[in-house]
Amino acid sequence: MANARFNAKVNAEALTAEIERAAARGLRNATEHVLAVSNQRVPHDEGTLERSGTAVVDESELRGIVSYDTPYSVVQHENLDYNHKPGRTAKFLELAVREEAEVVKLMIAKQLRQVLK
């Protein structure tokens, strides 16, 4: 039986910090992607609702948030009875999150792989 020994020093604290930074980068890319997809569907008249969209990452919690901030954004999102221009729809953000879930995972994984290669 052949044996090989080696000594390796791993700075676990530094590695953990780098992994967290990579996850945050991936999450930032992913939230921007979801916002862009959602913006393609958001009801559009003058563009105010679309322009109010933001993608934010809380790096300490590794939490991504995509939101729209107008007095009517929730109503536009939830009301299925409104008529919209072609390609525009209610549930614009919910659909983008659901349909892009696999892409989001891949975007985050890509950043993590770069650290762990």
Higher pLDDT, 1 or 12: 12
**CB atoms closer than 10 angstroms to residue 34:** 23
- Cβ–Cβ under 8 Å, residues 76 and 90: yes
- Of 5-14, 24-33, 57-66, 90-99, the one with minimum mean pLDDT is 5-14
Q: What would the two tokens of residue 25 be?
A: 């980068």
> In the chain, where are the structural domains located?
12-116
The model's confidence at residue 4, banded by pLDDT at 50, 70 and 90, is confident
Distance (Å) of CA 84 to CA 43, 57, 59, 73, 115:
6, 30, 36, 14, 44
Per residue in 20-47, pLDDT (tens digit) is: 999 999 999 999 999 999 999 999 989 9
Q: Please answer whether residues 94 and 80 qualify as being in contact, where contact means their C-beta atoms are separated by less than 8 angstroms.
A: no
57: how many CB neighbours lie within 10 A of its CB? 20
Q: What is the pLDDT of residue 22?
A: 96
pLDDT digits (tens, 9 = 90+) for 81-113: 999 999 999 999 999 999 999 999 999 999 999
